[in-house]
Amino acid sequence: QPDTHVRIVEVGPRDGLQNEKKAIPVATKIELIERLAKTGVSVIEAGSFVSPKWVPQMDNSSQIMEHILTRNIPSPSPITYSFLAPNARGVADATTILQKHQGAYLTQTDAFNGGNGKPMVELAVFAAATESFSQKNLNCDIATSLERFRDVIQGAKQNGIRARAYVSVVLGCPFEGYDVNPHKVAEIATSLLEMGADEISLGDTTGMGTAPRTQELLRCMSAAGIRNEDIAMHFHDTYGQALVNTAVSLERGIRTFDSSVGGLGGCPYSPGATGNVSTENMVYFMESLGMNTGIDLDAMADIGQWITGELGKPNDSVVGKAVLGA
């Protein structure tokens, strides 16, 4: 890919919806995914195989995965559908569905051989950079979570499935504030890559990240020998710093960014944190720099307006609203 190509991971159907209190009909979630698939995005995070007691909104992720594997969702280019899976139970539930529909999706080997328009599937684990966030989000300490993730990552890879690994609260923690050690983030990321993760997504869960802290974090990642192509940045926009931090990351050579249509999102275990940086803002910003995302901004803005309306909340994308004259 040319250096001007930026890969956007659309996390709206998962990060965007997981924190919504009212149950969202599965038909609405599927409509969201199908509309996003038409915009030119190459990765859609579609659900979570987590405990429904912890995150009730993600309870119908099995149905969503079944739909993706059986309905041949139209898209201009092949899409990778990503699902969170924090433990053996999550990967077992996902694998049961995948095995039932073998041949309906591309394994990593198929994709390397050129693919044929079928979707790819990815499973994602999520570690934390602080012990208190790990306890709140996963009910275990960091070391225990990493042991569990080893099985998830290996389980995914054995089935030819791509594995993503998040590290949360990398630039600020709701419980430990700015006291997050970037060397610790790099150490956790290194362990996850050694287990076989294909990509590390660095989560600024609280949106507390600033330009200098982003710079310092990425410097520590390089110093630990982690390659830019193995890193994605996942900015929440709580303090309005997401695009500034994106600019810093771009300048350092990062080319994968997570964002959410309509700026939806938030983590149920990060009190006060708001949505991800909106995909509309991200695409507009990338285009202004001459970078190519492959995403149709007008189509994305329409989806942001529609889904926020469905959820009965304001459209949080300033670019989305400007594009629509709303």
Site residues (vs ligand HMG, CB under 6 A): 15, 18, 48-51, 53-55, 84, 86-87, 89-90, 93, 126, 137-139, 166, 168, 203, 205, 234, 236, 267, 269
Nearest to 72 by CA among 36, 32, 105: 105
The reply to whether 267 belongs to the active site is yes
55 binds, among Mg ion, ligand HMG, none (CB under 5 to 8 A by kind): ligand HMG
Return the number of the residue (67 or 234) whose C-beta is nearest ligand HMG: 234
Look-up of token digits 């790990």: 134
Three-state DSSP class for residue 194: helix
Return the number of the residue (75 or 214) whose C-beta is nearest ligand HMG: 214
- Distance between CA 200 and CA 188 in Å, rounded? 10
- Smallest distance from the beta carbon of 15 to ligand HMG, in angstroms? 5
16 binds, among Mg ion, ligand HMG, none (CB under 5 to 8 A by kind): none
Site string for Mg ion, 286-315 (x = CB under 5 A): ------------------------------
Return the number of the residue (164 or 321) whose C-beta is nearest ligand HMG: 164
90 binds, among ligand HMG, Mg ion, none (CB under 5 to 8 A by kind): ligand HMG
- Smallest distance from the beta carbon of 286 to ligand HMG, in angstroms? 20
119 binds, among ligand HMG, Mg ion, none (CB under 5 to 8 A by kind): none
Q: Give, for 310, the enclosing helix (H) or strand (E).
A: helix 297-311
Point out the catalytic residue in the list 140, 173, 220, 267.
Answer: 267
Nearest to 122 by CA among 148, 94, 147, 92: 94
Return the number of the residue (42 or 48) whose C-beta is nearest ligand HMG: 48
* CA angle centred on 121, ends 116 and 123, rounded to 5°: 160
Return the number of the residue (52 or 117) whose C-beta is nearest ligand HMG: 52
Look-up of token digits 């600020």: 172
- Distance between CA 235 and CA 68 in Å, rounded? 27
- Smallest distance from the beta carbon of 203 to Mg ion, in angstroms? 5
- Smallest distance from the beta carbon of 202 to ligand HMG, in angstroms? 8
Sign, Cα dihedral of 306, 309, 313, 318: positive
- Is 15 a binding residue for Mg ion by CB under 5 A? The answer is yes
* CA angle centred on 200, ends 189 and 220, rounded to 5°: 50
Return the number of the residue (39 or 168) whose C-beta is nearest ligand HMG: 168
Taking CB atoms, the residue at the shortest distance from ligand HMG is 203
- Smallest distance from the beta carbon of 205 to Mg ion, in angstroms? 6
89 binds, among Mg ion, ligand HMG, none (CB under 5 to 8 A by kind): ligand HMG
Beta strands in the chain (DSSP E): 7-10, 43-48, 80-84, 120-128, 162-168, 199-204, 231-235, 256-259
Go through 149-158 and write b for each residue having 16 or more CB atoms within 10 A of its CB, e for each that does not: bbebbebbbe
- Smallest distance from the beta carbon of 171 to ligand HMG, in angstroms? 10
Q: Which residues are CB-contacts of 193 (< 8 A; sequence separation ≥ 6)?
A: 165, 200, 226, 230
- Residues belonging to the active site: 267
Q: Which residues bind Mg ion (CB under 5 A)?
A: 15
